[in-house]
A = this chain, B = another copy of it.
Amino acid sequence: MTALIPAGPVSWPDGKTCAVAFTFDVDAESPLLTTDPAFADRMGSMSHQAYGPLVGIPRLLGILDDLQVPATFFVPGYTAHRHPEPIRSLVTAGHEIAHHGYLHESLVGVDEATERAYLQRGMDALVEVTGVTPVGYRAPMWEMNWHTPKLLAEFGFLYDSTLMDSDHPYELAVTDGESLVELPVSWALDDWQQYCFVPDFSVGMIETPAKAIELYRSELDAMREVGGAWILTNHPFLSGRPGRAAALREFIADVAAMDDVWIASMAQIAEHVRAQQLTPRTLTRPEFTPTVRSIDR
């Protein structure tokens, strides 16, 4: 079994010691529809999800504009089809658009050909609606297959943002000598676990904005010591709500005032990492003999 090698440190521009990216997964209706098409019949749930592009995006754009902070929006193709104006407004405001599947399709157990079709469909939708070809990808549900990186390279992506095995970005080796920049995420830096409540879909606790921000802040303060990339993921249908957006605004303003932090789009971070010509890391599927159970009764 080939042992895994951890990612090494990376340097940041202008003497900064930590990179920060504010990212938004603009899921809207898609995660529900891909889980069960019958969710389309639920007018209430659909309205809850539509809040993201309809209300959350304009509000969040206002905050980002006020604070002059760049952000990256991972957009399922279907969101672009159903909500073209909000998605185009992201581009108009100068933010980055990245790929997040077409219908937020789970990739668990999906074969390569099917996954390629999802990628193509998502890509086509983003290009069609925004005219922009995304350079970044994040897998729906933050889960992908061992064949996914090869597919992403095939589509010409510069970076992926799905994996969770590092505080530092790295070059992820792909078959045939190619590589992708990997910008890792963390479940602790996701508003879903703090706020998401949708009956029959995802029913967690609803925390206060103060608690969510305290969680993000504790990780950021430590990441500034670590020197990695701190990548926050919010969902406009959740963090676009007034109280949460107000708390996020205050937090982003605090971060923007930190001298040691480089706030950038994911593409900017990926380009900066790419330029460092890091040796690609090879990740391998675990080899193991499954547990055999011989039960007493």
State the A residues within 8 Å of B (CB).
Answer: 1, 3-4, 6-7, 29, 33-34, 37-38, 40-48, 50-51, 53-55, 58, 78, 81-85, 103, 105, 108-111, 113-114, 139, 141-146, 148, 162-167, 184, 186-188, 193-195, 197-200, 203-211, 214-215, 218-223, 225-226, 228, 241-247, 283, 285-286, 288, 290-297
| CB of A187, distance to nearest CB on chain B (Å) | 5
Given contacts A166-B55, A288-B33, A206 and B188 within 8 Å (CB-CB): yes
Sample (11) of A-B pairs whose CB atoms are under 8 Å apart: A1-B82, A42-B144, A43-B162, A45-B143, A47-B184, A109-B293, A187-B206, A218-B246, A220-B243, A222-B242, A226-B242
**C-alpha gap A291/B4 in the complex (Å):** 34
Residues on B with beta carbons closer than 8 Å to the beta carbon of A203: 204
Given contacts A208-B214, A295-B111, A164 and B246 within 8 Å (CB-CB): no
Residues on B with beta carbons closer than 8 Å to the beta carbon of A108: 41-42, 200
| CB of A286, distance to nearest CB on chain B (Å) | 5
Residues on B with beta carbons closer than 8 Å to the beta carbon of A188: 195, 206, 241, 243-244
Q: Are A286 and B144 in contact (CB under 8 A)?
A: no
| CB of A170, distance to nearest CB on chain B (Å) | 11
| CB of A195, distance to nearest CB on chain B (Å) | 7
| CB of A40, distance to nearest CB on chain B (Å) | 5
| CB of A33, distance to nearest CB on chain B (Å) | 6
Q: Are A295 and B110 in contact (CB under 8 A)?
A: yes
Residues on B with beta carbons closer than 8 Å to the beta carbon of A51: 164-166
| CB of A162, distance to nearest CB on chain B (Å) | 5
Known: A51-B165, A187-B206, A193-B197. 8 other contacts (CB 8 A): A1-B81, A4-B53, A43-B143, A43-B283, A44-B141, A45-B143, A223-B243, A228-B242
Residue of A7, A42, A47 with most partner-chain B CB within 10 A: A47
* Cβ-neighbour of A285 out of B41, B206, B208 (below 8 A): B41
* Cβ-neighbour of A143 out of B113, B199, B294 (below 8 A): B199
Residues on B with beta carbons closer than 8 Å to the beta carbon of A33: 286, 288, 290
Q: Are B48 and A164 in contact (CB under 8 A)?
A: yes
**C-alpha gap A226/B207 in the complex (Å):** 21
**C-alpha gap A211/B205 in the complex (Å):** 12
Given contacts A50-B4, A187-B206, A44 and B218 within 8 Å (CB-CB): no
The 8 A-B pairs of least Cβ separation, nearest first, read A222-B242, A219-B243, A218-B243, A47-B165, A47-B163, A6-B54, A48-B164, A222-B246
